[in-house]
Chains A and B, each alone.
Chain A
């Protein structure tokens, strides 16, 4: 293989690799941008949490400020939708406690 052939082959390989490099560069740029965004987001959260306001609650806080402070409905207040087991578990404890108490009491008065 002559020097010209070798040079030609190198150029061809370089030409073939160019789009791959460009693609890689684009991916790296994207990743870098994504990292920057994530970092910025983390920093924002850190700043918010430093002020004792969790960033996730910021939107809620704005909502809270904008409410007209009407009394809550009793259902929302006492029976949280995301924890329906709260009143059920309380009712179970109540029934078990007073059920046992009543059985013992009934035995004594009879």
Chain B
């Protein structure tokens, strides 16, 4: 029997998105960096939701062919770009007080979004008809690759740090490092299960075009390869870092989780040939008669669909982007529903592998309620009382205004892409 499980992911996305939006409206002592981070996480969830809807449950209803398919593709890509730029902004502000001048920040964001808009024009517009056109897959992959470099370094700095937060710099570095580890898992985690045998697979060295005939081909290929490399490298960096972390601090939870990726990746590589599944089928359709597919779904699939919204939930609560005290009952309900939904999917996947019935997920739900596991998890996610939240005086502007400006810029960018898409699809721009 083949099942489509993306509906669980869609519900998770919507739940966490509404949760952040609701708590984000509350007045409290959050700093502007935390408010900025909360809105950026919303952009990510919106993107994830759109991808789930488009490539999952409602694929047939979304892709109807004709001109609006171009617009749909452009909007989906645009949301990914917004999510990536949003994560870069969050990385550089929420856990890490880096920039001071609002003017420089705005120039950076405008440059990034304009570059992304131009890329849409290049990939979908008139240049595609030219002889010299080279398809970059995707051109904007340079942005997430750079993001992964920054995150990997921050995570390495944190994992190799010998003692806990001793001074302000150390405390903020640790905070940024934890954010970086979670962000790396969110962005690259699903591929780590499939790409342990990176250097053994010819897929990663295959050239998309004929680099000798055109420099543009070579550039496109190098950018694509750099992006692939920057998904795999963090896995090795985090694995070595987690061993050092376990030795220094002895925290099994974080160190063990990271090493778990490596171990499961090796199992996939050794026993199931390590091949990745097609994006549309992995994490979307579940074939319970095939153990290999079940394993891939359990690793790659659950990371892609279930873990991502849950990691966002962790980030917003742990870094104080929202405060759950405003709605304790709602927080509890959401946590129970998230855990129950995730457990239901996982037991469904485990069914053919271990020969156990998916019905036992009811017992897990019972355990969550009986032992109040959701309360313990929510409590563990809360930021420590004495932790410093980054906040600083800006030059040429103020924080709350900057949050509004950033979100307006994102909104305008998406509207501009939709208009551009319609103009391209309707062949107004030729």
| A2 CB to nearest B CB, Å | 75
- CB of B98 within 8 A of CB of A74, answer yes
Contact of B168 among A67, A87, A90 (CB under 8 A): A67
- CB of A104 within 8 A of CB of B199, answer yes
Report chain A residues within 8 Å CB of B225. 101, 105
Contact of A78 among B153, B171, B204, B393 (CB under 8 A): B153
Report chain A residues within 8 Å CB of B157. 78, 80, 86
| Shortest Cβ distance from B384 into A: residue | A52
Contact of A64 among B100, B206, B207, B388 (CB under 8 A): B388
18 more A-B residue pairs beyond the given contacts A64-B168, A64-B388, A94-B233, with a C-beta to C-beta distance below 8 A: A53-B386, A56-B166, A63-B168, A64-B171, A69-B391, A69-B392, A70-B97, A70-B393, A77-B96, A77-B169, A77-B172, A78-B157, A83-B161, A86-B157, A98-B229, A101-B199, A105-B205, A105-B225
Interface string of B149-184 (1 = CB under 8 A from A): 100110011001110111111111100100000000
23 contacts between A and B (CB under 8 A): A56-B166, A60-B166, A69-B390, A69-B391, A69-B392, A72-B169, A77-B96, A77-B169, A80-B161, A83-B160, A83-B162, A90-B152, A90-B153, A93-B237, A93-B240, A94-B233, A97-B229, A97-B232, A101-B205, A105-B207, A108-B205, A108-B207, A109-B221
A36-95 contacts to B, CB under 8 A, are 52-54, 56-57, 60-61, 63-64, 67, 69-72, 74, 76-78, 80, 83, 86-87, 89-90, 93-94
Rounded to whole angstroms, the CA-CA distance of A83 and B170 in the bound complex is 11
Interface string of B381-411 (1 = CB under 8 A from A): 0001010101111000000000000000000
B201-244 contacts to A, CB under 8 A, are 202, 204-207, 211-212, 221, 225-226, 229, 232-233, 236-237, 240
Report chain A residues within 8 Å CB of B170. 80
Q: Is B99 an interface residue (CB 8 A)?
A: yes
| B33 CB to nearest A CB, Å | 10
- CB of A86 within 8 A of CB of B98, answer no
Rounded to whole angstroms, the CA-CA distance of A63 and B384 in the bound complex is 18
Report chain A residues within 8 Å CB of B162. 83
| B71 CB to nearest A CB, Å | 35
| A70 CB to nearest B CB, Å | 6
- CB of A72 within 8 A of CB of B212, answer no
Report chain A residues within 8 Å CB of B236. 93, 97
| Shortest Cβ distance from B158 into A: residue | A86
| Shortest Cβ distance from B226 into A: residue | A98
Give the 9 A-B residue pairs with the shortest CB-CB distance, closest first. A71-B97, A108-B205, A64-B168, A109-B207, A60-B167, A97-B233, A105-B205, A90-B156, A71-B392
Report chain B residues within 8 Å CB of A101. 199, 204-205, 225, 229
| B263 CB to nearest A CB, Å | 20
- CB of B169 within 8 A of CB of A69, answer no
- CB of B205 within 8 A of CB of A87, answer no
Known contacts A80-B157, A97-B229, A105-B225; A61 and B386 CB within 8 A of each other = yes
Question: Chain A interface: which size bin?
Answer: 20 to 34
Question: Chain B interface: which size bin?
Answer: 35 or more
Report chain A residues within 8 Å CB of B206. 108
Rounded to whole angstroms, the CA-CA distance of A93 and B225 in the bound complex is 17
Report chain B residues within 8 Å CB of A90. 152-153, 156, 237
| Shortest Cβ distance from B221 into A: residue | A109
Known contacts A71-B99, A71-B100, A94-B233; A104 and B156 CB within 8 A of each other = no
| Shortest Cβ distance from A91 into B: residue | B153
Report chain B residues within 8 Å CB of A108. 202, 205-207
Report chain A residues within 8 Å CB of B166. 56-57, 60
Residue of A74, A78, A83 with most partner-chain B CB within 10 A? A78
Rounded to whole angstroms, the CA-CA distance of A31 and B412 in the bound complex is 75
| B171 CB to nearest A CB, Å | 7
Known contacts A90-B237, A108-B205; A64 and B211 CB within 8 A of each other = no
| A94 CB to nearest B CB, Å | 7
Interface string of B109-144 (1 = CB under 8 A from A): 000000000000000000000000000000000000
| B332 CB to nearest A CB, Å | 25
- CB of A109 within 8 A of CB of B211, answer yes
Rounded to whole angstroms, the CA-CA distance of A78 and B91 in the bound complex is 13
| Shortest Cβ distance from A105 into B: residue | B205
Known contacts A53-B386, A61-B386, A78-B157; A93 and B205 CB within 8 A of each other = no
Contact of B205 among A52, A71, A83, A104 (CB under 8 A): A104
| B226 CB to nearest A CB, Å | 8
